[in-house]
Amino acid sequence: MTDTITISVDAMGGDNAPRAVIHGASLALRERKNTRFIFHGRQEQIAPLLDEFPELRPASTVRHCETVIAMDEKPSQALRKGKGTSSMWMAIQAVKDGEADVAISGGNTGALMAMATFCLRPMKGISRPGIAAIWPTLRSDIIVLDMGATIGADAKQLVDYAILGSALARCLFDDDAPTVGLLNVGTEEVKGLDYIKEAGRVLTEASGSGFTYHGFVEGDDIGKGTVDVVVTEGFVGNIALKTAEGTARQVGSYLRSALKSNLMSRIGALFATSALNALRRKMDPRTVNGGVFMGLNGIVIKSHGGTDEIGYKSALSLSYEMARSRLIDKIGDTMQRFPIKVASEAPEAEPEANSA
């Protein structure tokens, strides 16, 4: 890896592609001038946009792909149709081939995970990949994983997520021993979740090798920022993320109604305009955009599909930082330092297409 970071971009992924993607790239380039882009997608749609954002042109290569994966396509279907031909697949392939340091797409999450797993393969020793979210909290940003890459987990998978998440935390937060917590319902006498308790035992023993194990955390510890890395099974992580998004929107909506409720409150809102705008920016989901696919032999970032150029700019900046801070090396290093081997109950990951 040289000083230059090359990002391989699925220019066709997401609701506002390719315009929002290309526009976002032009914004990202302004802040990180040593970025290079490889855009995969329909030449006839991308070329006019590069005319519109001419500063991007010298930093960009366009690779024409005819096939585009739809947002509602099943992963297995997408893999059959798009392997070797689609903008999504080709974006990932460029990482595998060493042409790019990181790949990004705003397309169909399930399809992207299936293709990334099939193309890049899980890292040696990691049974299944996870998706990490960067979650703003009262203390600072933290990492929560898995957001739903895999449904169902065993102790080995949670331990893997702890290794992956703490490596990501070391990249993002420059902290050599990030704290890790296991998401639980908080009581000691919990039935049916033996795999969480088992993972807790392993992490207690391994604490100190690249992370500090904090213990169990509860749902409200996420917003408090009690630990740097919250580890949970994918179904639960996905529900937690979406419930939090829903709650934030709900409270925001209450606030807007309250401030419109009478003349005095409208006047008050005028006085507080700058503060309320700062609050809006703080709560803007576009500023923290990008799920990090963890545990594969290459970095893939998923942007929200419905976002605009600001959201893509954030996701592209995140991609850049992941590559610059050598995430893959940090994961390998954490795995090497990890003192305990745990057997998984699950078979090694197979891409969706084979099992569906």
Residues 147-206 that bind a second copy (CB under 8 A): 148, 150-152, 183, 185, 187-193
The binding track of 50-79 with respect to a second copy, each residue x by CB under 8 A or -, is ------------------------xxx---
Residue whose tokens read 């803007």:
284
Type of residue at 83: K
Q: What is the DSSP letter of 123?
A: P
| CA–CA dist 336, 287 (Å, integer) | 34
Residue of 236, 288, 333, 344 interacting with a second copy (CB under 8 A): 236
Q: Which part of the chain contacts a second copy (CB under 8 A), choosing from 56-64, 84-92, 235-243, 336-344?
A: 235-243
Residue placing its CB nearer to a second copy in the complex, 30 or 256:
256
Residue placing its CB nearer to a second copy in the complex, 207 or 238:
238
Residue placing its CB nearer to a second copy in the complex, 204 or 250:
250
Q: Which part of the chain contacts a second copy (CB under 8 A), choosing from 19-27, 145-153, 291-299, 324-332?
A: 145-153
For strand 300-302 and strand 291-294, is the pairing parallel, antiparallel, or unpaired? antiparallel
C-beta of residue 132 within 8 angstroms of C-beta of residue 168: yes
Residues 93-112 that bind a second copy (CB under 8 A): 110
C-beta of residue 147 within 8 angstroms of C-beta of residue 132: yes
C-beta of residue 70 within 8 angstroms of C-beta of residue 48: no
| Closest CB 202 distance from a second copy, rounded Å | 20
Residue placing its CB nearer to a second copy in the complex, 4 or 265:
265
C-beta of residue 53 within 8 angstroms of C-beta of residue 26: yes
Q: Is residue 284 near a second copy by the rule CB under 8 A?
A: no
Residue of 278, 339, 345, 354 interacting with a second copy (CB under 8 A): 278
Strand, coil or helix: 315? helix
C-beta of residue 127 within 8 angstroms of C-beta of residue 141: no
